[in-house]
Structure 1
Amino acid sequence: MTSTLTHHTEHRIEVDAPARAAYDLIADVGNWPVVFPPTVHVEHVEKDETTERIRIWATANDAVKGWTSRRELDPVALRIRFRQEISQPPVAAMGGEWIIEPRSGDRCAVLLTHDYRAVGDDSANADWIAQAVDRNSTAELNSLKAAAEGAAARGGLLLTFDDVVHVAADPAAVYAFINEADQWAQRLPHVASVRMTEESPGLQLLEMDTRTPDGNTHTTKSARICFPHDRIIYKQSRTPALMSVHTGTWRFTETTDGTAVTSTHTVVLVPEAVPGVLGAGADLDDAKDYVRNALGRNSTATMLAAKQHAERRTT
């Protein structure tokens, strides 16, 4: 049955930052996974000065969804219109607008509107969408406010780094090990337990209990977007105390003698959490070293296990 009933929502927040700063954060979709909690990954399909088509993957009501949207950017009026070209059920159609309203030189309001139709005009579908729109819009506006107001300090809290392992096997074999995260508790000594769901091929939700060197465990939750046999991109929705954001990529590059596997981590640190985790005398540099070593150690251990697994299968 064709959907005909259109629903409308509005969400608004006051921001103690210049209107242009808020607009630029919304316009730069490449940085959305770091700024907006629901967004896992964004890619440009087409782009010119005022219009763009983007592919977005984000969490909605504890599910991973992907869709294509067209955006119209107006940097003079400080407005960005968006419309989904390809929606995912239970959404039949969705669009909306970001509107930035200057209050003064260093204050603004941000209005986020949505209009949408549910598949079949079904009330359960409409309720699901309303809940997702409200949850995501609230999270996005709160995060936009924090990012715009804390822009000066945020750069010093951002940490990005790579680790690389070379494997004498083809990319597909190495990719399979990283893709099969539901097997990691049996394959990786630092993983205590794993719970993974994959409602759509390549869209995974992963909850994992990881052992630390002191014998404790911590739980993380991630959404993963899998592109065989090239990349697996993920974002944690539940992070350890030292990090407010953690995104990453597993990349598999064919070489003359096998595969180069690269693990990239991008994190935003929480400075106020440093004393409680690392001790009263610790500072932000200590936190950066700690996070870099902890994440790098686990990702390198995973890549070395993938190397052993894939090379054993090729001999």
Structure 2
Amino acid sequence: MSVERVHRLSYAVDAAAPAGALYALVADTAPWPLFLPDTVHTERLDFDGTVERYSHWTGTDGHPRRSLWRRALDAGRRRVDFREERPAGPVTGAGGSWRVEELAPGWSRLVLEQDLTVVEGPGAERVLAEAGARGRAAADGLRAVAERWRRLDGLLVSFEESVRIQGPAEPVHAFLYEVGAWTGRVAHVAEAEVVEDRPGVQRVRLVSLAEDGTPYPTEEVRVCFPAAGRIVFKRSRPHPLLVAHAGEWSVEPDPAGVTVVCRNDVLLDESAVERVLGPGADLERARRYVREVLGRESRAVLGPAGEYGGEPVRALRSV
């Protein structure tokens, strides 16, 4: 007969940020791939204004795990209670709460409480250690972002590139999926290596060429949703000017053809601006540079994707 035991974990960090700014980061999971190193993708499934269900992909080591969560948000108390649906064994129950306390003007404390019900056995200690490490990393990540709250809007860059194709969706999605074959097809890709241990979950290493021909490596995890025509990605080794880079490729069919969209979301590394762009470079120049580089790379993929679909490209747009 298996024996279950409830374990309770607690972790707290103080942040040089207003309580409201810190709570806002806890309450909105959409940008977590940029803020939390272990988060690959989050997707809201339901939300009634208070109770939210969302899907969470974690693990940038190439083996991301999907989990489902239900959260109750209480903005007045700056508290979020959460519970995992159908946790993986040996965990039979997992939940807890985030709580933000105001310490003084401009200072706040983030408290994470976790409870895990685990079947006792050889793997129990490892599960608890991993859960504790993930919780601490999440709290530390949110604290670090919150402390840049005055500059955060300037550090975040999001944009889309899209192309309109007169043709079927399937070959276009196949081109995007087969990233290992991009060498020789996509102008800036000098090398491409793909490992796919599970169908639809890819570890990708690319060597890209900058505009001056200088090579730079990037590594990313991609989670593919073929039925929906979507591929989400998180770069575990982003461009040298970035702290984090995530995004999505999507193929959207309609009766007249398909629209292919590449969305890029990035968090700039302000400490790298002068090192990468030279003395005197400021954040605005870094924003323009990243927009130009990643936009050019996205368009370089979208063009061949249209040709691979067998029909000419009708229009290309940037947002």
Q: Distance in 1 between matches of 2:196 and 2:275?
A: 36
Give 1:12 shift: 1.7
Instruction: Please state if 1:137 is matched with 2:158.
Output: no
Contact 1:208 1:219 in 2 (8 A): yes
How many residue pairs get matched?
310
Instruction: Go from structure 1 to structure 2 and tell me whether the alpha carbon gap of 1:207 and 1:91 turns closer, same or farther (over 3 Å shift).
Output: farther
Secondary structure at the residue paired with 1:69? strand
Distance 1:175 1:115 in 2: 41
Structure 1: state its 5+ residue gaps: none
Equivalent pair of 1:100/1:108 in contact (CA under 8 Å): yes
- Mean alpha-carbon deviation: is it higher for 243-252 or for 163-172? 163-172
- Counterpart of 1:168 (choices 166, 169, 175) is 166
TM-score, normalised via structure 2 length: 0.87
Instruction: Give the whole-Å Cα distance in 2 for the aligned partners of 1:19 and 1:68.
Output: 27
1:155 paired with 2:153, answer: yes
Equivalent positions of 1:109-258 (< 5 A) are 109-117=109-117, 121-124=120-123, 126-127=125-126, 129-185=127-183, 187-228=185-226, 229-258=228-257
After TM superposition, give the deviation of residue 147 of structure 1 in Å: 1.9
Q: Where has structure 1 moved over 6 Å in runs of 4 or more?
A: none
| Amino acid paired to 1:225 | V
In structure 2, the gaps of 5 or more residues are 312-319
Aligned position for 1:302: 301
2:48 maps to which residue? 48
For 1:8-23, list aligned pairs within 5 A: 8-23=8-23
- In structure 2, the CA distance between the partners of 1:255 and 1:116, relative to structure 1 (3 Å rule), is same
Q: Secondary structure of 1:14's partner?
A: strand
Equivalent residues of 2:169, 2:309 under 8 A apart: no
Question: 1:230-266: per-residue Cα shift (whole Å, max 9, x none)?
Answer: 2211111221221112111111111343211111111
Judging changes above 3 Å, is the alpha-carbon distance between structure 1 residues 262 and 170 closer, same or farther for their aligned structure 2 residues? same
CA distance in 1, matches of 2:185, 2:90: 37
TM-score after normalising by structure 1: 0.88
Higher relative helix content: 1
Deviates more, 1:14-23 or 1:135-144: 135-144
Residue identity over aligned pairs, in percent, reads 32
Contact 2:62-2:221 at 8 Å conserved across structures: no
User: How far apart are residue 198 of structure 1 and its match?
Assistant: 3.1
Q: Bigger shift: 215-224 or 172-181?
A: 215-224
Report the alpha carbon displacement of residue 180 of structure 1 after superposing the two structures with TM: 1.7
- Aligned Cα root-mean-square deviation (Å): 2.4
Matched residues in 1 for 2:172 and 2:99: separation? 45
1:204–1:223 contact (8 Å) kept in structure 2: yes
Deviation at 1:71, TM superposition (A): 0.8
Match of 2:63 in 1: 63
* 2:262 partner amino acid: S
CA separation in 2, counterparts of 1:206 and 1:134?
28
Is the partner of 1:163 in helix, strand or coil?
strand
Q: CA offset at residue 62 of structure 1?
A: 4.9
The equivalent residue for 2:310 is 311
Kept in 1, the 8 Å contact 2:56–2:68? The answer is: yes
Counterpart residue type for residue 17 of structure 2: A
